[in-house]
Amino acid sequence: MKRIFKGFLALSLAAGAHGAEMCTEQTLFEPFEGGALNEALWSFDIGDGCDRNLCGWGNNEQQFYHSDNIMLRDGNMVIRAEKNKYLDHFTSGKIVTRDKFAQRYGRFEARVKVPDGLGLWPAFWLMPDQPEKTWPLEGEIDILERPGRDELDLRTLIGAAHFGEIWPGNTHFAQFLILPKNWHDDYHLYAVDWTEDELVWTVDGREFARLTREDTKPYKWPFDNKAFYVILNLAVGGTLGGEVHLESMPAEMLVDYVKVSQFVPCDDEK
């Protein structure tokens, strides 16, 4: 059943002036219903990154992104990774809201069922819209990364943020949450609460990571300038995907919905 959220949710966030309680107000809700992807909101990223001088998407990934690997089915957006029958490469999918929707601060969340199998790297993340500086000077926020290098990785969730200087002077923050069972066993609600001075990652309402402006010193905090857009993708191999396993193919990442909210003062009358 599709979960539709309306109204306000009480939060305990540093965003509130003088510790005042803040609430959320929905700015985007994508339920992935109907027969085709809403291209007024989403665009397909196509290729292997080489046309952007970023072959392997900068992470030695093995997939070629194609729009045919994105479909809507049973109220989900499905990203399918598979071995191409005719060409010697893997195909998968990646969708973005770049140049169509971006927001600075707020709650970004998605209900996702990651795929089973080694060699896969599903992700839900944010990047600065209309960037003016070289990565990672304006930051990157990774809400969900499930690595796939070994059996332990299948039980591991990563929340991360990238900042620092231009490569090779870049750095990052990462927190790992390891379960006694695999993340692909069920859907989970992955979210980040982003305020002027803080990022808080949660899964199924449970906080598992927190990064503050103070934590990034001596580097500049880059998360107070640009609005960020939303990305959903399923990589094959790569830095966190590891060795590609043909027995894992085909594989599917299911996304029930994406929701974005802004933080507003709570109204006692609501």
Known catalytic residue at 140: yes
Could you give the C-alpha distances from 200 to 114, 197, 269, in angstroms and in order? 21, 10, 28
Known catalytic residue at 30: no
CA dist 118 and 70 (Å) reads: 21
Could you give the C-alpha distances from 238 to 49, 61, 78, 122, 203, in angstroms and in order? 13, 4, 21, 11, 24
Q: Is the distance from CB of 270 to CB of 7 less than 8 angstroms?
A: yes
The residue annotated as part of the active site, out of 109, 145, 198, 252, is 145
β-strand partners of 52 = none
CA dist 178 and 158 (Å) reads: 9
In terms of Cα–Cα distance, which of 257, 253, 255 is closest to 92? 253
The residue annotated as part of the active site, out of 61, 138, 140, 198, is 140
- Give the catalytic positions in this structure: 140, 145
